[in-house]
Structure 1
Amino acid sequence: MPTPADAALLQDRYGAADAATVLRAALDHFKGEIAVVSSFGAESVVLLHLAATIDRAIPVLFVDTGRHFPETLAYRDELAERLGLGDVRVVGPSPDAVSRRDPDGTRATWDPDGCCALRKVSPFNAALEPFAAWITGRKRFQAETRAALPAFEFEDKRVKVNPLAAWGAADLAAYARKHSLPQHPLVARGYPSIGCQPCTRPASADNPRAGRWSGFDKTECGIHRPASLPLISET
């Protein structure tokens, strides 16, 4: 497994490089031991397109929580076919875990952290086990918790790669236009950030994550978190 020194070395060499260079460096360094993680959400297509131009066979992990918008699942299938992604791995909670810990499907309304731990974090951690590194689509502009995001970081025994960290909304839009990439259908309906259906509301493009977990003091599902925050409990 990698060490913090691996992330520091990569950050020193490629931290200021363009997104494609960061991706290639990560794929070369962790050949066969790296995956893209995608929600197939509002901004996902840019990272997926960049990855596909380099290696269409790279594993892409998608956590199906059982609570996604139907539009997200259709968009996932559309992008996988259009971009030629040959290894999209759909993971999710076991029916037994859901029946034990969220039998009536309401946990998101009174314990969103617990719901995320059950439906996203636990199955994601299991799926990530074979990999030494993973690629995310996070950007600094998305939230205060991401404002200092580096291109390479070390967390929980793995290197996280954030090739789009320095990109803004205008950069994403310009790239999508240049390559004629399809937009998630919910974006046009006022959803600039898209997660599970019960916990996602329309929001302003100036504060895209304001529509996530509305009414709760929560900005991350637990897969991504500031280094100062602990893991979300899975109980």
Structure 2
Amino acid sequence: MSALATQIDLADEAARLAATLEGASPLDVLERAIGGHRGRIAAVSSFGTESAVLLHMIAQVDRSVPVLFLDTGHLFTETLHYRDTLIARLGLTDVRTYRPDEQLRAERDADNDLWASDTDACCALRKVEPLGRALAPFEAWINGRKRYQAVTRANIPFVEADEGRIKFNPLAALGPDDIEGWMTAHDLPRHPMQRFGFASIGCMPCTSRVKPGEDPRAGRWRGQAKTECGIHVPKDSEVL
């Protein structure tokens, strides 16, 4: 079967599954995802301000599901501490940290300041390429994107095809009140930066506080047209 035919089949499978799951609860989506791809699925988490909700739900279904974390080298120290806090609190047993390829970093960002001149290239080097390596053994993955977060995410389905894999978005239909309600009901720890006005947290040089009434992701790459790092945009890895 050709690569194109395989992609079409995967897209059809994702569309059928998305239609079946529309209206399902996040836990139902996770149970379907993990149960249907057991041993061949991983979750990807930034350990950002809302990450505790998805990770808590995953822990309720199966604490052994691999969780992939990208340490770009530019993260807030608070994010690394928060990762460790959530791992201990939720009992996650397989959190894997991936970093940029050192040879590529030395060639393309020896001074660690690529972010100042080309944020797309920096994200490709420090997030897209490492995630590609991290996902290589898996046929499906789970992420925490939500429709309310930005206009570019307003129509994401519960399931989609992405670069030869099935990608599950179990929190897609949740709103900010749902996230806050889950955090409060389960007394989940907050990201330390959240109390300072950071609604969405990525790398330190490209993250700023969000003003009242702004899009939750308005603090990411402020002043640029860029709205995504690239891991949810197909083929961004070709920048490398």
TM over 0.5, shorter chain: yes
* 8 A contact 1:15–1:152 mirrored in 2: no
Does 1:207 find its partner at 2:215? Answer: yes
**Secondary structure, in 3 states, of the residue corresponding to 1:216?**
coil
Could you tell me which runs of 5 or more consecutive residues in structure 1 were left unpaired when the two chains were aligned: none
Matched residue type, 2:96: R
Alignment match of 1:231 (pick from 232, 236, 239) = 236
The answer (yes or no) to whether the contact 2:128–2:236 under 8 Å persists in 1 is no
Q: Are the equivalent residues in 2 in contact too, given 1:192–1:208 (CA < 8 A)? A: yes
Q: How does 1:41-60 map to 2 (within 5 A)?
A: 41-60=48-67
Which residue identity is paired with 1:111? D
CA distance in 2, matches of 1:104, 1:128: 28
1:196 deviates by: 0.4
| Cα drift, residue 230 of structure 1 | 5.0
Match of 1:185 in 2: 192
Match of 2:18 among 11, 21, 38: 11
Distance in 1 between residues matched to 2:238 and 2:225, nearest whole Å: 16
Is structure 2 residue 108 aligned with structure 1 residue 101? yes
Match of 2:3 in 1: none
Gaps of 5+ in 2: 1-5
Name the structure 2 match of 1:129: 136
Describe the superposition over 1:185-218 as per-residue Cα deviations: whole angstroms up to 9, x where unpaired: 1000010000000110001354111110112210
Amino acid at match of 2:215: N
The alpha-carbon deviation at position 12 of structure 1 amounts to 2.1
The one-letter amino acid of 1:218's match is K
CA distance in 2, matches of 1:234, 1:98: 14
| Match of residue 125 from structure 2 | 118
Alpha-carbon displacement from aligned partner over 1:37-75 (angstroms, at most 9, x marks no partner): 000001100000000011000000000001100000000
Bigger shift: residues 209-218 or 198-207: 198-207
Residue deviations 1:89-131 (CA, integer Å, cap 9, x gap): 0001122221111011111011000000000000111110111
Displacement after TM superposition at 1:11 (Å): 1.1
Q: How many pairs were matched up?
A: 232
Q: In the alignment, residue 83 of structure 1 is paired with which amino acid?
A: L
* SS of residue matched to 1:204: coil
State the match for 1:88 in structure 2: 95
User: How is 1:31-46 mapped onto 2 (pairs within 5 angstroms)?
Assistant: 31-46=38-53
Moved more, 104-113 or 203-212: 203-212
Provide the TM-score with structure 1 as the length reference. Answer: 0.95
Query: 1: CA distance between counterparts of 2:231 and 2:173?
Result: 20
